[in-house]
Amino acid sequence: MKIDVSGGRLPKVLMADCIRSANEGGSHGGAYLVDLELGTYEKVLDWNDPTIDWEGRGSKRGLRGIAFHGDEILIAASDEVFAFDRDFRIRRSFRNRYLGYCHELFLDGGTLYVASTLYDSVLALDLASGTFTRGWMFRVTFDKDPRTSADPGPARPSVVAYDPAGDAGPEAGDTVHLNSVWVEQGRLFFSGLRPPYMLCVDDAGTVRKYADIPTWTHNARPFRGGVLCNSTGKDSICHLDLKGNVLKEFPVVRYAEAALTNVPAGTDIARQAFGRGLIATDDGLIIGSSSPSTISVYDFESGSLIKSVNITMDVRNAPHGLALWPY
């Protein structure tokens, strides 16, 4: 989306977040409309559904990816996609047995693509009919579980297309922590935290590796002949070439530890500078979000930080979805 910043005006963005390690009975996320020029924000949604699974740090907490379709605001929760009007009232929602721990959304025409992390999948939703029409499972197997083994053995990746309306889809697994989805020139791109590459599927259904990327990335997408991503393991936004070499790096904003609030104790983990949520405008701005809920604007060419807006110093507040406000 093209944003005119010729007069120095920074855009408005919509940010969805989850409150990591939130306790049962309280709010566990929401959505904020942020005016980056004025440095002001409004909380437009408070997500406090008490029926979620409260295990783990993030799990089913909060709100996730964002997309806009006509006058509908589409926001993913863990296992459901909601369509809101401009006053953030729910108009309709979409569920599927293969949605779980959703991350990013991408809208291409009338089709919404959803990263379904629990099922290592991308699902395609036809918004006119409200029907999930296609699914792709990206799964990597190892000799040992890479989440617990320092030497899991060689990776064996596979991509399998399936019908999300049927019964032949994948079992829950989250083997790759698939979190990123993008569509460009008829090709579907996706990647996750664990595999060190981004894959793409063309119109003919051919699957190939598009680029090498670091492990522990979010929001990876094709960009200027390479890849732009939140390199969450490096606490930075990176522009990479197709071999995974860093061409430009934008460090995530950090705060003095003493300024942080609600730092979890023991094994209950939430940390600052966890980067997730990413926008690149046609006008040369890179906009990223990070914990505790902060949105930062960079100039791509110079690499300089233009502005940073903090919403809370509660370190549990982790941004998830980030999108330009089109209205």
pLDDT tens digits along 198-232: 999 998 889 999 999 999 999 999 999 999 999 99
Q: Buried b / exposed e across 90-127, counting CB within 10 Å, b at 16+?
A: eeeebebebbbbbbbbbbeeebbbbbbbbbbbbbbbeb
- Report the distance separating Cα 22 and Cα 27, nearest Å: 7
pLDDT of res. 269: 67
Q: What is the distance between the alpha carbons of residues 65 and 321, in angstroms, rounded to a whole number?
A: 4
Strands 29-35 and 275-280: unpaired
DSSP three-state, residue 9: coil
Residue type, position 84, single letter: F
Name the residue ranges covered by the structural domains of the chain. 12-292+306-324
pLDDT digit string, tens, across residues 146-176: 778 888 888 787 899 999 999 999 999 998 9
Tokens 């996750």 belong to residue: 192
Confidence at residue 87, expressed as pLDDT on a 0 to 100 scale: 95
Give dist(CA 99, CA 76) in Å, integer: 10
Confidence at residue 260, expressed as pLDDT on a 0 to 100 scale: 94
Would the pLDDT of 101 be above 70? yes
Adjacency order of strands within the sheet including 246-251: 217-223, 226-231, 236-240, 246-251
What SS3 state is found at 263? Answer: coil
Average pLDDT value for the chain: 90
- At 53 the pLDDT is 42
20-24, 260-264, 283-287: least confident range: 20-24
Selection from 6-20, 39-53, 233-247 with the highest mean pLDDT: 233-247
More confident residue, 60 or 102: 102
Q: In the predicted model, what is the mean pLDDT of residues 303-325?
A: 95
Q: Which long-range contacts (CB under 8 A, 24 or more apart) does 70-75 make?
A: 73/14, 74/105, 74/107, 74/112, 75/16, 75/31, 75/45, 75/105, 75/321
Position 263 confidence tier, pLDDT thresholds 50, 70, 90: confident
Share of the chain above pLDDT 90, in %: 76
pLDDT given at position 28 = 64
CATH number of the domain located at residue range(s) 12-292+306-324 in this protein: 2.120.10.30
Average pLDDT over residues 111-124: 98
Reply yes or no on whether the pLDDT at 5 is more than 50. Answer: no
Give the per-residue pLDDT at 20: 66
- Per-residue pLDDT at 283: 94
**pLDDT at 266 (0 to 100):** 56
What is the model's pLDDT at position 60? Answer: 62
pLDDT at 59 over 80: no
pTM: 0.90
